[in-house]
Amino acid sequence: MNKFAIIHMQKFQISDVQGIQKHNQRQGKSKSNLDIDYSKSERNYDLLNQQKIRYESTIKQEISERVKRKPRANSVVLSEFVVTASPDYMHSLSLEEQKRYFESSLDFIKKRYGKQNTLYAMVHMDEATPHMHIGVMPITEDNRLSAKDMFTRKELISLQQDFPLEMREKGFDVERGEGSEKKHLSPQAFKEKQDLEVEVEQLSNVKTHLKTKVVETHNQLQQTTNYIEKQNETLQKIQQQFLNLDKKIKEKKQEFETFRNQVPDKPVSLSYLREETKTEVTTKLFGKPEITEKKTGNIVVTSEQWRDMTEKVNAAVIIKSDYERLQKTDLVKENKQLHEAVDEICDSLQDSQKRNLKLQEENKQLRTEISSLKAHIRDLQINIKVLYQQTKKVFKEQFKAFRGLVKNELDIKGVDNQFEREHAREVKSRQKGYFIAVNVIMLKQL
């Protein structure tokens, strides 16, 4: 069983602090760190603070009160130590001994870098291997903020030597892990792996963004298409109204022409057969009765004359009625309005069709970019797979602890851990091979 004491330090700027707090205090669920069992997160504890603290405001307050000169925006404001031991050894300890291991580690850090500089000591019991995150502000004895002076190369080498010795003095059967100096100093393989992970995550984010853009463009395209279809329907209705109106105008013109022909162009005298008279007979006492013819004011016409007269009067009445209606309904104006509506819709359709073509071209470009990104991501994942195998060969027995350190760093940065995915695929493949081998043995025995 390996019994390595593990301590790892990483420097952070103020822009990183909020992400570290979220990880340490389990604010939200991580999608990249698959080892976190959130049902056990209530077992986590902070050896320095009974209540959760706000890292950023605490750091700024400490700097304001203790640091002489105002730090630069890119200054290192926090150095975080991850303290643990080989997984097998940590799990062999009781909960009380695990806590004592972390308390002893915290005492070592406070004594070495100053109690006043130590902000938190968060123990995580909800991951594969119990470990502790200790936050230290790099404030020197002469009140300068300088991680460069506090954590020199010589100091970091000394740290890797002194920490296991201190833990052995506290009664823990641990030793310094081989190659821990190289791991602490970020070997090329470790840095390349981190860079690849970050690039894969960035490309994945770009791909997700482009996919979202494609969906949005497709929706806009669909909306534009639907709009064009509706405008076409409206245009067809207006065109039909236009045709119906033209037809009515032609019919009315023809009807008007028919009646106009029946009405004379100038005043005429109507012919009649004769004037009607009334005969009055006056009786006298003596002599013959007196007969008198008087005009009644009426005239007598033939049936043909009556029909002709009736047609002319009716035609005049209809023309008068149509004239009064035309005074109220301006067909010419209505016709013009329909023409303008048709022109407006045609212009709108033309603009929509141009926009439709532009959206189609944009959609095509986005799909091309996504295909290119997929190919790039596949290449990077192949590189990670190769790097995983090479790293496993280099670190050998310490590889499991190395994976734990990688997880912590990537989880703090919020980067998807492709390295861990490769490990999961290898384990699954190994299990599959094992089951196949067992089945083969059983078949042979039969």
- Distance of alpha carbon 200 from alpha carbon 34, whole angstroms: 18
Q: How many CB atoms lie within 10 A of CB 21?
A: 20
Question: Does the residue 382 lie in any domain?
Answer: no
Residue 396's pLDDT is what? 59
> What residue type is 15 in one-letter code?
S
Q: Is there a contact between 342 and 334 (Cβ–Cβ < 8 Å)?
A: no
Question: Does the residue 251 lie in any domain?
Answer: no
Token pair, residue 9, equals 């330090």
Q: How many CA atoms lie within 13 A of 83 on its CB side?
A: 30
Residue 186's pLDDT is what? 41
Q: Is there a contact between 32 and 416 (Cβ–Cβ < 8 Å)?
A: yes
- Under DSSP, is residue 383 helix (H, G, I), strand (E, B) or coil? helix
Element (H, E) at 84: strand 76-85
Residue 59's pLDDT is what? 96
Instruction: Name the percent of the chain lying above pLDDT 90.
Output: 31
- Distance of alpha carbon 324 from alpha carbon 158, whole angstroms: 111
- DSSP for 204-222 reads HHHHHHHHHHHHHHHHHHH
Q: How many CB atoms lie within 10 A of CB 59?
A: 20
| pLDDT-based confidence at residue 433 (cuts at 50, 70, 90) | low
Using CA atoms, how far residue 50 sits from 38, 103, 175, 229, in Å, is 20, 15, 32, 66
Q: The domain that contains 13 carries what CATH number?
A: 3.30.930.30
Question: Does the residue 255 lie in any domain?
Answer: no
Average pLDDT, the chain: 77
- Which one, of 61, 157, 72, 159, lies nearest residue 113 by Cα? 159
Residue 12's pLDDT is what? 93
- Which one, of 150, 80, 159, lies nearest residue 120 by Cα? 80
The mean-pLDDT minimum among 175-184, 283-292, 304-313 falls in 175-184
Q: How many domains does the chain have?
A: 1
Residue 250's pLDDT is what? 77
> What residue type is 208 in one-letter code?
T
Question: Does the residue 95 lie in any domain?
Answer: yes
For 297-331, write each residue's pLDDT tens digit: 677 667 777 777 777 777 776 766 766 666 556 66
For 336-352, write each residue's pLDDT tens digit: 677 777 777 777 767 77
DSSP state of 291: E
Furthest CA-CA distance within the chain: 179
CA angle centred on 18, ends 16 and 20, rounded to 5°: 70
Look at residue 204 and tell me whether its pLDDT is greater than 80.
no
Look at residue 412 and tell me whether its pLDDT is greater than 80.
no
Q: Is there a contact between 156 and 184 (Cβ–Cβ < 8 Å)?
A: yes
Look at residue 82 and tell me whether its pLDDT is greater than 90.
yes
Q: Where are the beta strands (DSSP E) in 155-285?
A: 175-176, 274-282
- DSSP for 170-182 reads TT---EEPTTHHH
> What's the whole-number mean pLDDT along residues 247-251?
77
Residue 181's pLDDT is what? 40
Which residue(s) pair with 122 in the sheet?
A: 46, 133
Question: Does the residue 348 lie in any domain?
Answer: no
Look at residue 52 and tell me whether its pLDDT is greater than 80.
yes
- Distance of alpha carbon 304 from alpha carbon 403, whole angstroms: 119
Look at residue 133 and tell me whether its pLDDT is greater than 80.
yes
Residue 147's pLDDT is what? 94
Question: Does the residue 106 lie in any domain?
Answer: yes
Residue 65's pLDDT is what? 94
Residue 48's pLDDT is what? 96
Look at residue 244 and tell me whether its pLDDT is greater than 90.
no
Instruction: Name the percent of the chain lying above pLDDT 70.
Output: 65
Range of the domain at 135: 1-185
For 366-397, write each residue's pLDDT tens digit: 777 777 776 767 767 676 766 767 666 666 55
- Under DSSP, is residue 400 helix (H, G, I), strand (E, B) or coil? helix
Question: Does the residue 14 lie in any domain?
Answer: yes
Range picked from 141-145, 284-288, 427-431 for highest mean pLDDT:
141-145
Sign of the alpha-carbon torsion through 315, 316, 318, 319? positive
Q: Is there a contact between 277 and 296 (Cβ–Cβ < 8 Å)?
A: yes
For 11-47, write each residue's pLDDT tens digit: 999 999 998 999 999 988 876 677 788 899 999 999 9
Look at residue 180 and tell me whether its pLDDT is greater than 50.
no
pTM of the model: 0.45
- Which one, of 360, 333, 352, lies nearest residue 234 by Cα? 352
Token pair, residue 370, equals 């996504």
Residue 265's pLDDT is what? 60
Residue 438's pLDDT is what? 47
Q: How many CB atoms lie within 10 A of CB 33?
A: 19
Look at residue 6 and tell me whether its pLDDT is greater than 80.
yes
Q: What would the 3-class secondary structure string for 329-361 be?
A: CCHHHHHHHHHHHHHHHHHHHHHHHHHHHHHHH
Question: Does the residue 115 lie in any domain?
Answer: yes
